[in-house]
Amino acid sequence: MIARFAKFILLPCLLVVLFCPRIYPQNFANNNKQIKIDKPEKELKVGEKLKFSLQWLGVPIGWIELETKGIVSIEGNNCYQIVARAFPNSFFRKIYNVEYAVNSFIDKKGLFTRRFTKRKLYNGKVTDVIIDFDLQNKQAKYRNLTTNQDFTVKALSFAQDLLSSLYYLRLQDLKLGSKYKVDIVYGDKFWNINAEVDDVKALDLRKLGTFNVVKVDLNAELSQMVLGKKDMRLFLTSDSRRIPVLFTLHTSMGPVRGIIQEIKPGSQWKNSS
């Protein structure tokens, strides 16, 4: 059972998953009317690195690392390269020895996915998958480099992967009460995720300080399928950076939370061409 849970939680796309505030109390100051939601940055900052600790039922189980690696060209289009790693801590590795490394290539102008790669390392065995998004034909083309299997999935022209959807939301002009629809390709299906800006709060994270945050509720059949529950919550700083400091979720096996531990700011990309 633990191994099954770890398999789902350590997916690289878990980027939008978080903890349950009712079980893990935090100090939410009732001053949301005084907190301003700033306009977002106009683009992602190259070099930004974020590191999160993962907890299940209050027990540390692993880490997630995110990095805005740089700008690369995919078929002549400038794309942000977002790199993510998910891996268990030393204790959980004895139970489920798995790591995920993911690359999402996000179109710099349109903020949709052009390419997605995933590498799974499980007990020394490697599985590599590449997904190319065909905008013209509205398809996502899968290539499993390990098994040499190919197949396609229907998708909208401006679809996201799970990782890119986080960065897409970070660049939106979030307003209290506003709703957003995110179209995501995951597995062999196309999913709709509904996001709503539910609240603005002062969030006190133990030993880390207080953050003014925007609370985004996420609801999707996808999370129901993967984790057994529909509801997820994402807490982004209300300043222009929109740093995800906390993500929470309920699973059929208990609450999970991801808490920011390290933030390394990036810088604006300069086109040398």
**pLDDT tens sequence across 13-46:** 333 332 222 223 344 444 565 899 999 999 999 9
Residue-wise pLDDT for 55-78, tens only, equals 988 899 999 999 999 999 999 999
Q: Which of 29-43, 78-92, 133-147 has the lowest mean pLDDT?
A: 29-43
Q: How many domains does the chain have?
A: 1
Range of the domain at 203: 11-262
270 within a domain of the structure (yes/no): no
Token representation of residue 7: 């398999």
pLDDT of residue 222: 59
Sequence-ordered alpha helix ranges (H) in 56-174: 90-93, 162-170
Residues 62, 86 contacting (CB under 8 angstroms): yes
- Per DSSP, 224 falls in state H
155 within a domain of the structure (yes/no): yes
The most distant pair of C-alpha atoms in the chain lies apart, rounded to whole Å, by 56
- Judge residue 263's burial from the number of C-beta atoms within 10 Å of its C-beta, 0-12 exposed, 13-18 middle, 19 or more buried: middle
177 within a domain of the structure (yes/no): yes
3 within a domain of the structure (yes/no): no
272 within a domain of the structure (yes/no): no
Residues 71, 79 contacting (CB under 8 angstroms): yes
4 within a domain of the structure (yes/no): no
268 within a domain of the structure (yes/no): no
The more confident residue out of 5 and 42 is: 42
5 within a domain of the structure (yes/no): no
Closest CA to 174 of 198, 157, 139: 198
